[in-house]
Amino acid sequence: MKADDGAFPDIAATGMKELTNIDYVGYGTATLLLTLARPDRLLSLNSASKEGFGALSGKSSSTLGKPEHYRNLLQWLYDQPWYRDEPPTDESLAPIWQFRAALVDPFVYERK
């Protein structure tokens, strides 16, 4: 499925809602699966990263696990200058740039 840039937060929130409707699938698993599908556009959010994402984005960490708030977190991500930047001219860095959303998680992950 192709989508324009502005549609991703809504599509991700819908996907998250559908996945979490499956027994035993929480927001952490749902966002991980979504991020594996689109590491350039989506964030893996779980109990070990929600505090960091909340602090970084200025959003309430206690509500980030809800689809509508995950949508807002993605909109925050897409507004970041480093995210909107053009792909690197160095070809060796291009694969990393294609995973730029997924790579935010290691910076906010805190082992409990």
pLDDT per residue as tens digits for the range 83-93: 999 999 999 99
Whole-number Å distance between alpha carbons of 14 and 20: 10
| Stretch 61-65: mean pLDDT | 95
Q: Where are the domains of the chain?
A: 5-108
pLDDT per residue as tens digits for the range 28-45: 999 999 999 999 999 999
Closest of 72, 96, 70, 69 to residue 82, by C-alpha: 96
Position 58 scores a pLDDT of 96
Confidence of residue 112 (pLDDT cuts 50, 70, 90): confident
